[in-house]
Structure 1
Amino acid sequence: MSTEIKAPVFPESVAEGTVATWHKKPGEACERDELIVDIETDKVVLEVVAPADGVIEEILKDEGDTVESGEVIGRFKEGAAGSKSEESGSEESKTASASKEQEPSREDVSAAGVDEAILSPAARKLADENNVDPADVKGSGKGGRVTKEDVQAHIEGGNKAAPTSSEPRKEAAAPAADVPVGDRPEKRVPMTRLRASIAKRLVNAQQSAAMLTTFNEVNMKPVMDLRKQYKDSFEKRHGIKLGFMSFFAKAATEALKRFPAVNASIDGNDMVYHGYQDIGVAVSTDRGLVVPVVRDVDALGLADIEKKIVEYGQKAKGGKLGIEEMTGGTFTITNGGIFGSLISTPILNPPQTAILGMHKIQERPMAVNGQVEILPMMYLALSYDHRMIDGKEAVQFLVAIKEMIEDPTRILLDV
């Protein structure tokens, strides 16, 4: 039976997408729920999986083609065997087919202690891309088969196997044809839809807003001491490490209550004041910068914030963030310090009116009560839209965050 392969139904905020990667070729065997094609939008990458066991009969939209919501991009033949494609040299399909034919039971795998793991094609591809030894991954599929989800969970658990070659994997995997040659090599690569969308938003933010940046510095010693004192008990109780971002998110929440204009947005000629604090946390991925939103931060504890940030970080790296997780937001925090940035001027995330930039913690000599002390200092930057926020409010907002970070009890006492 032949069925249509359709692009996912996009949310209202997404107009169209681009076919990023076909993971299967026409005639190549597919298993039910196996990834067959990625559709990239200006916000996320959406996955389309096989509706049943069978083969891709025809591809109607090639990689790089623009597709609309729900558009037919190919045809799938249910129940058909992919022997022709396998015989033509698809090593991945051969492996999957052979594994399926000789697939032992889960009990046999466990009892015999087999070294060769049984992988689905999608799982093998993901394992190869991330240099994961399949033998280290525990399979949850039928007969002990290692699924793509098993490999992804293994990667997110931080248990990557060591490279089997002394050469970097990226160099070993790169096709020779893709490497520029000559004395002055150049390589032209089309900008991804996500990257193009980011570029457009950043340029628009600079052109449409009266953007200014104010700076301050904060002594991180009190928070660092607090983390050192309670890190073990915190992790034992909550199952998550205590980071800096949760302190800044809570401090920002309290400061946003005091300065509502910083928590507002501009809609045409209207100024929209939000009575809640949904804070976006900028996350860098291979595909570009994404900003998932932690909602109702005022109602969350430090552990809840940390868990949400870790969850978003893992989803972002795996391309699993949903549209709903990246829409909205009344304020944004970005941390360039994790890459070593000492000071920067962050760009607004429209339609928000302000963004807080955290930076590297650097020990510096500071004058304290007439004495010189070496303290762990961090520069803070607040970029804001001067159409909505006066300089006085911006400075006072940043000072409020500085005071709460330097004396964390202020966050609890709301003083």
Structure 2
Amino acid sequence: MATDIKAPSFPESVAEGTVATWHKKPGDSVSRDELIVEIETDKVVLEVVAPEDGTIEEISVEEGDTCQSEQVLGRLGAAGASSGDSKEKGEEKPAEKDNDKAEQSAGSSSASGKSHDVKAPSFPESVQEGTIGTWHKKPGEQVKRDEVLADIETDKVVLEVVAPADGSLKEIKAEEGDVIESEQLLAVFVEGEAGGAGSAASSSSDKSGGSDENDDGDEKVGDKILAPSARRLAAENDLDVSKLEGTGKGGRVLKEDVQKAIKSGSAAKSKPAASGGQSRASAPAASAPAEGDRPEKRVPMSRLRQTIAKRLVQAQQTAAMLTTYNEVDMTEVMSLRSQYKDAFLKAHDVKLGFMGFFVKAVTEALKRFPDVNASIDGTEIVYHGYQDIGVAVSTPRGLVVPVLRDTDSMKLADVEKGIGDFGKRGRDGKLGIEDMQGGTFTITNGGIFGSLMSTPILNPPQTAILGMHKIQERPMAVNGKVEIRPMMYLALSYDHRMIDGKDAVQFLVVVKELLEDPARFLLDV
């Protein structure tokens, strides 16, 4: 019995989508939950997976066609149904074709031999191109289905390319550092055992005269095998390769391992001793800079860093940006946090931080000042009837701003869990584009790095951003007496085209008052 392949239910804000890529064609067998087709909307790319094991019988909506929510895209027949059809059409089974090729060529796979084009994922409209960051597998290396093959770095997120089945890479078409476009061919993948591809890699290595460098660029330095990106990064930072710890397969040193070593300083080179001879790998470090030398190095900006620079300059050039300041006494918040942090951790399995209080206080203030929660779209003002607050997160790649949705309906524990999750996924490079789209207001906390005062820059098209800073004990006049209080400076940058100075100042005063008496917004009074 045939089963309809339907588009998923679109969110209310999404009217329609476009069929971007069919990963299967009529006659192909699929397993349950295997990716069949991707649908691109104006916000996210949605994946449609097989509801059960079967065979693609029919495709109703072709690539590039527009589809509606829950529209039928094709039909899925019973498993194995395509074999008869293929014979009727005079088509040869893919396995038979590949087996014939395997008998004719020693470079083909020894198992099913079915080839797949490994393509870059469909980039959202806001992402034009990407860069191959790291190939985690090399030709001939056996991999499992859904295992990560490569990372693609865009100006917003790092996208992962996974194996379509059990098998191995036959050929890599786009090397690390290459600029690629949406759905560009990256490699050829072969199902089954990696005999042929491995043999090809071995013969290629033999032809090269036993070089330490593999087909995919891996190089053996001493007893360490370095990925190309790791090798470049280690050379740029003049690291001792022998001190690097590899977490890749077989102890392979990855780019992430080098970044970790740079941060910890564990692979710094010791002062070179006088020596008559040196290996080719250690030659670059032979001559230490003489005293008085002024060394320089040039490193290309990452795509994320380029985008950050572009957006910050754009914000300053297009908005009438102004900043107002105030200070808040954190005594009550710190007292509440100190009193309940253990019980909060036990009840919600998350630590009680300061950011949760700020998010809830800002949410309440935004409800009172809708202009601060609005955005500018050309010559129109968009008033948002909800509060989606972006929280600036520092990652190894740069600053990103994931968004907490509907913070008015979130509890304090939900906010803290959301922020903690953003931080972890940001450090691991797992934040998706959908995590960072939208947002009606942004909070940034320079205080965690020790900043006492700063002027935050707007995050367009939003019209305001709140800057938090370091909590500093200062003498304050309280009821005619001088007392030492934990104080924090707050900075609200806003677009004067949209927000008047009076509203900006009053908004910041409300945030200050709520934080100095947190029971008010926690009790909704």
TM norm. shorter chain > 0.5: yes
1:73-104 deviation line (CA, Å, top 9, x unaligned) = 121222223645578667999x9xxxxxxxxx
Asked if residue 70 in structure 1 is aligned to residue 167 in structure 2, the reply is no
* RMSD (CA atoms): 2.9
Q: How far did 1:69 drift?
A: 1.5
Q: Is residue 269 from structure 1 mapped to residue 379 from structure 2 by the alignment?
A: yes
Count of aligned pairs between the two proteins? 357
Aligned to 1:336: 446
Counterpart amino acid of 1:401?
V
1:49 is displaced (CA, Å) by 1.9
Q: Match for 2:308: what amino acid?
A: I
Of 137, 143, 147, the match for 1:30: 143
Where does residue 393 of structure 1 map in the other structure? 503
What is the DSSP-based 3-state SS (H/G/I as helix, E as strand, rest coil) of the residue aligned with 1:262?
A: coil
1:49 alignment partner in structure 2 = 162
Q: Report the residue type matching 1:15 in the other structure.
A: Q
The counterpart of 1:299, out of the listed 409, 413, 418, is 409
Can you list the C-alpha shifts for 1:96-117, whole angstroms capped at 9, x where unaligned?
A: xxxxxxxxxxxxxxxxxxxxxx
Q: Compute the displacement of 1:71 (Å).
A: 1.4
What is the rounded CA distance, in whole Å, between the counterparts of 2:256 and 2:133 in structure 1? 19
State the SS of the aligned residue for 1:171.
coil
In terms of mean alpha carbon deviation, does 349-358 or 176-185 score higher?
176-185
Q: CA, structure 1 residues 128+342, in 2 after alignment: closer, same or farther (shift >3 Å)? A: closer
Say if 1:290 and 1:131 are closer, same or farther in 2 by CA, change over 3 A.
closer
Question: Conserved in 1, the CA contact under 8 Å of 2:134 and 2:255?
Answer: no
Following superposition, the deviation at residue 168 of structure 1 comes to: 2.7
* Partner Cα distance (2:249, 2:144) in 1: 9
CA distance in 1, matches of 2:178, 2:360: 44
Which of 361, 384, 388 is the equivalent residue of 1:251?
A: 361
Distance 1:327 1:248 in 2: 21
Q: Is the Cα–Cα contact under 8 Å of residues 248 and 254 in structure 2 kept in the other structure?
A: no
Aligned partners of 1:237 and 1:270: how far apart in 2?
Answer: 45
Moved over 4 A (4+): 82-93, 122-128, 175-181
Cα contact 1:14–1:41 (8 A) shared by 2: yes
What letter is aligned with 1:62? E
Q: Is the 8 A contact 1:92 1:121 kept in 2?
A: no
Structure 2 gap segments, 5+ residues each: 1-113, 224-246, 271-280
The answer (yes or no) to whether the contact 2:139–2:198 under 8 Å persists in 1 is no
SS across alignment from 1:250? helix
C-alpha contact 1:29 1:54 (8 A) present in aligned 2: yes
Counterpart in 2 of 1:16? 129
- String of CA shifts for 1:39-80, please: whole Å, max 9, x gaps: 111110001122234332222222232222211112122222
- Write the distance in 1 (CA, Å) between the matches of 2:481 and 2:387: 40
> Is 2:375 the partner of 1:375?
no
- Structure scoring higher RCO (CA < 8 A, sep ≥ 6) equals 1
Are positions 1:359 and 2:449 aligned together? no
C-alpha contact (below 8 Å) 1:34/1:122 kept by paired residues: no
Q: Which sits farther off after the overlay, 248-257 or 4-13?
A: 4-13
What is the aligned partner in structure 1 of residue 301 from structure 2?
Answer: 191
- Offset of 1:279 from its aligned partner? 0.2
Shift of 1:3: 1.6
Q: Which structure has more helix as a fraction of its residues?
A: 1
Q: Offset of 1:371 from its aligned partner?
A: 0.7
- C-alpha contact 2:391 2:401 (8 A) present in aligned 1: yes
User: SS state of the match for residue 326, structure 2?
Assistant: strand
Deviates more, 1:250-259 or 1:33-42: 33-42
Structure 1: where are the runs of 5+ without partners?
Answer: 96-118, 133-162
Q: 1:168 aligns with which of 265, 281, 284?
A: 265
User: Which structure has the larger Rg over C-alpha atoms?
Assistant: 2
| Distance apart, 1:18 and its partner CA | 1.6
Aligned match of 2:322: 212
Match of 1:121 in 2: 249
Map of 2:432 onto structure 1: 322
CA contact (8 A) 1:283 1:291 kept: yes
Alpha-carbon contact 1:131-1:169 (below 8 Å) kept? no
